[in-house]
Structure 1
Amino acid sequence: MHEFLIPAMTCGHCASKVNASLKRVDPACDIQVDVSQRKVNVRSDEDRAALVEALSEAGYPPA
């Protein structure tokens, strides 16, 4: 399980962008988003660096 704090994720639209960017890297990943805490938990077999890169490219770099 990977946990990310994403300061730029402030609304549901942001959360959907985060979700889509992670699904592009690993379509089978399980994602739990908490917009109020700006946290995302991802269960994925992908390397953490690949997930961070996808989030950063989408404009939501983890803190």
Structure 2
Amino acid sequence: MYRFHVPDMNCGGCLRSVRQAIQRIDPQALVEGDLETRIVTVSSHQGEALLLSALDMAGFPAHLLSQHEA
């Protein structure tokens, strides 16, 4: 499971776009987002780099949160 901070995700449409970008590369991925904290939690068999690349290409650059980051 990965947790990403997506600074540009600020509405339901953004979250939908983020979810679609991830599910394009892994249709089975489970994606949950919190608009208040702008954190997306992803359960996927794809690697971190591929997920980050998909988000970047969709216009939502993100960074992986460590286990200690909120």
Size of the alignment, in residue pairs?
Answer: 63
Which whole-Å CA distance do the structure 1 matches of 2:51 and 2:37 have between them? Answer: 19
Q: Which runs of 5+ in 1 are unaligned?
A: none
Which whole-Å CA distance do the structure 2 matches of 1:52 and 1:19 have between them? Answer: 12
Higher-Rg structure is 2
Q: Give the 3-state SS of the residue equivalent to 1:42 in structure 2.
A: strand
> Sequence identity, in percent?
37
Counterpart amino acid of residue 39 in structure 1: I
Q: Which residue of 2 aligns with 1:7?
A: 7
Q: Shift in Å at residue 56 of structure 1?
A: 0.1
Q: Which runs of 5+ in 2 are unaligned?
A: 64-70
TM value normalised by structure 1: 0.96
Q: Give the 3-state SS of the residue equivalent to 2:32 in structure 1.
A: strand
Give the ranges of 4+ consecutive aligned residues of structure 1 lying more than 4 Å apart after TM superposition: none
Q: Give the 3-state SS of the residue equivalent to 1:40 in structure 2.
A: strand
Q: Give the 3-state SS of the residue equivalent to 1:3 in structure 2.
A: strand
Q: Which residue of 2 aligns with 1:19?
A: 19
